[in-house]
């Protein structure tokens, strides 16, 4: 683990470094994009890039602050990736945000005639590539867009980049657990009592 050890532990850290490491939130891919270079701590001998845990912690706090500008009913969280289904559902249930887990229905954000039509001011996606149709629709609708971005993602059409392993179930659970807790705190909503395990796919 030596080459993965960037410590985030101080008085302002959202969670302990050990929890970040255990979730694999920092483990990237063998591909790196220019947009994600500022968040990469190093590349391991096996070719995998590792995200900087301290920066992940800072950005998670910024993400909660950014999202807190929006009321829960103005937020839509989308995940096509199956590992994100449970985290986005639980996030929606505990915060009151809208959510959609599964294959995004084209026009959901732009066509009021659709049964699945949903109005929102901000879209949060688990991965801007598999969720690209949702991102495209959101931009057409004039919405703000945030995405979890791994080392292989770009920041095209994004208003907020959240660096994180956006593929692993433990990583996604931790991101949405912390985000729900911090968002609720900043919005003055009831305290989130759901546990990290509640956000984690079996």
- In this predicted model, what pLDDT tens digit does every residue of 165-185 receive, in sequence order? 999 999 999 999 999 999 999
Q: Which residues pair with 122 in a beta bridge?
A: 75, 144
pLDDT value for 12:
76
CATH code of residue 148: 3.40.50.10490
Tally of structural domains, the chain: 1
Using DSSP's 3-state secondary structure scheme, residue 202 falls into coil
- Judge contact between 156 and 36, C-beta under 8 A: no
Q: Rounded mean pLDDT of 160-164?
A: 98
Alpha-carbon distance of 94 to 196, in angstroms, equals 12
Q: State the pairing for strand pair 40-43/49-51.
A: antiparallel
Domain, as residue range, for 117: 14-189
Does residue 62 belong to any structural domain of this protein? yes
Does residue 198 belong to any structural domain of this protein? no
Overall pTM > 0.75: yes
Does residue 4 belong to any structural domain of this protein? no
Q: Rounded mean pLDDT of 117-145?
A: 97
The residue among 73, 69, 24 whose CA lies nearest residue 160 is 69
Q: State the pairing for strand pair 160-163/40-43.
A: unpaired
Mean pLDDT of the chain: 94
Q: Rounded mean pLDDT of 80-98?
A: 98
Q: CB within 8 A of 169, min separation 6: which ones?
A: 83, 86, 200, 201
Q: Rounded mean pLDDT of 106-110?
A: 94
- 183-193 pLDDT per residue, tens: 999 999 999 99
């Amino acid at each position: 683990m030596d080459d993965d050890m960037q410590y985030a532990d101080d008085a302002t850290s959202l969670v302990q470094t050990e929890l970040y490491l255990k979730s694999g939130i920092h483990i990237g891919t063998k591909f790196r994009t220019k947009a994600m270079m500022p968040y990469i701590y190093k590349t391991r001998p096996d070719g995998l890039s590792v995200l900087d845990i301290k920066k992940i912690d800072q950005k998670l706090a910024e993400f909660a602050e950014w999202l807190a500008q929006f009321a829960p009913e103005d937020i839509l969280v989308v995940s096509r990736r199956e590992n994100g289904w449970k985290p986005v559902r639980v996030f929606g249930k505990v915060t009151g945000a809208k959510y959609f887990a599964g294959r995004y229905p084209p026009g959901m954000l732009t066509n009021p005639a659709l049964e699945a039509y949903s109005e929102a001011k901000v879209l949060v996606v688990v991965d801007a590539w598999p969720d690209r149709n949702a991102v495209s629709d959101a931009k057409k609708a004039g919405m703000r867009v945030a995405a979890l971005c791994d080392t292989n993602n770009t920041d095209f059409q994004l208003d907020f980049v959240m660096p994180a392993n956006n593929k692993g179930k433990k990583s996604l659970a931790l991101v949405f657990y912390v985000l729900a807790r911090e968002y609720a705190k900043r919005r003055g909503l009831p305290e989130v009592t759901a546990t990290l395990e509640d956000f984690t796919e079996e």
